Chain A
């Protein structure tokens, strides 16, 4: 009898723990959905064509994408988000161009070449960089990196897309590095052994066997790095000069979506067209990072699994 009640209490306890853990898991899912719904709701007047600016003129999605100027606080406000989207893409791509080769190189080194003690210093050090407050990186870029790059390349603008992208790379490197390193070390030992047995040198093994085998993981790492760079606010707010120019040059100042939201959200009048547009920008950011994460996740799961089970 006593054993029965004992089992019974264990079951009740299990049930309680199971349910609460499940609830926690679903709460985090609910948060994502709620944030998404909230952002979309605040942008809604714009999406259904009900947003008007102070002069009573309608603000439509077509105008947002076609207007060349971002001048939201003006006697004749214009909300041209094309320059902001271009700015975000430019800075993000620059940061990836800088960060990807560096972090993949570093990952190859620590995963394949480095002796154990070196690896145990380098890996945590780069991972600490991931937890570095972005406002500090931004400050560093504003004061030190901007002057350095200006003198190095003889740039006309001190604060520009290049400086911002390079500063952003500091935030992106740890992400790409860590995930690439994980992908490389997760490869079966046979890959290296077979390659070496066939007479390949160490660097040939690394470049032509291990790196190609880890491609899905590396690709996912770059995608997540892209998401991080695209959404980063403080670094670009401080280092890019924030002028919304519709140009392809990388040595001029740029204004990104995230910096715009960061700088203007606090001041905007609730329910105003400007407010709706900022939430629409938030919706864009959210969508981009969400889809990148989904793609990265699917890529790792499907492709990597296929390769290792031999189906590919």
Chain B
């Protein structure tokens, strides 16, 4: 119905040349990691194009992809690539493989409490910490205190990405406390002297970011524009937008704009990293 009214609206505009007779609505749904960025994009774009309305909601990458498959959103934001099983579902519903657009780059930051003496961790140490092999901070050069693990809910793209890249596909320790949203993880770590959490670098307020090294002998890097862009920060990823079919009309204009110099400037402002 919504699609139909958009088409009808376009047709009206085309026929009578009435200009902004009907607002075009683009719905965007998905990753909580991208939701801040998507909202900034939408605000700036709508300010310059009053005839277009961009509606942004979060919920998690899985939620966005489900919505794309169910036809309840136009654009899906995802912090992980679509799985084959999801692409298959999209294909059976809409006879399309979907279109993937890399719209920004993100470094997964490791959050530590500001009072924690530990400053850098290697990927191996992180794996051992999050799988429950190392449970005390003194084993990684900190105080003799139990490590309190915080993470995201399993509907989050960050959950899957961190598991695949840092834990090499192993499961999280059962004691990992999962919280709804990156902001809640940051809040928990900021109040817990022995806490560790992970999430987008853009959220990091009131905590410190651990420097991460590829292995014990290599230099440690903080997630910032240069290290993520150059790929020296070991935990970085692309952020994606997915659409069902090759975008046309208002959608194409919007997506092109997000990838333009202006759109990518907003990416940097929000705390993520431009794609090119």
Contact = CB atoms under 8 A, between A and B. Distances in A.
Contact of B60 (A70, A241, A267, A270): A267
A255 B151 CA distance: 14
A147 interface: yes
A71 B171 contact: yes
A143 B186 CA distance: 12
B85 A243 contact: no
Interface string B58-83: 01101100100000000000000000
Interface stretch (B118-126, B153-161, B236-244, B252-260): B153-161
19 contacts: A71-B171, A72-B154, A73-B154, A157-B177, A158-B191, A241-B177, A242-B153, A242-B177, A242-B179, A243-B175, A243-B176, A244-B174, A252-B175, A264-B155, A267-B66, A267-B154, A268-B62, A269-B85, A270-B66
Contacts of B154: 72-73, 263-264, 267
B178 A243 contact: yes
Nearest to A253: B177
Interface string B35-77: 0000000000000000000000001101100100000000000
Contact of A266 (B63, B146, B160): B63
A72 B148 CA distance: 22
Contacts of B188: 158-159
A237 B177 CA distance: 11
A269 B63 contact: no
A245 interface: yes
Nearest to B61: A267
Nearest to B195: A158
Interface residues of A, number: 35
A145 interface: no
Contact of B59 (A73, A255, A266): A266
B184 A243 contact: no
B177 A243 contact: yes
Contacts of B195: 158
B177 A267 contact: no
A263 B175 CA distance: 17
Contacts of B148: 156-158
Contacts of A156: 146, 148, 194
A75 interface: yes
A243 B173 CA distance: 9
B165 to A, nearest CB: 13
Given A54-B85, A158-B188, A266 B174 contact: no
Nearest to A156: B146
A266 B177 contact: no
Contacts of A244: 174
Contact of A263 (B153, B163, B169): B153
Contacts of A142: 184, 187
Interface string A217-244: 0000000000000000000011001111
B161 to A, nearest CB: 12
A74 B176 CA distance: 14
A217 to B, nearest CB: 37
B80 to A, nearest CB: 12
Contacts of B146: 156
Contacts of A73: 154-155, 159-160
Which are the 3 A-B pairs with shortest beta-carbon distances?
Answer: A267-B155, A267-B62, A241-B177
Interface string B112-147: 000000000000000000000000000000000010
A264 B86 contact: no
A158 B192 contact: yes
A74 B171 contact: yes
Contact of A143 (B85, B163, B174, B187): B187
A266 B180 contact: no
A263 B155 CA distance: 7
A232 to B, nearest CB: 15
Nearest to A266: B63
A252 B154 CA distance: 20
B177 A159 contact: yes
A140 interface: no
A130 to B, nearest CB: 24
B89 interface: yes
A270 B169 CA distance: 23
Interface in A123-165: 142-143, 146-147, 156-159
A269 B92 CA distance: 14
Nearest to A244: B174
A156 B136 CA distance: 13
A142 B183 CA distance: 12
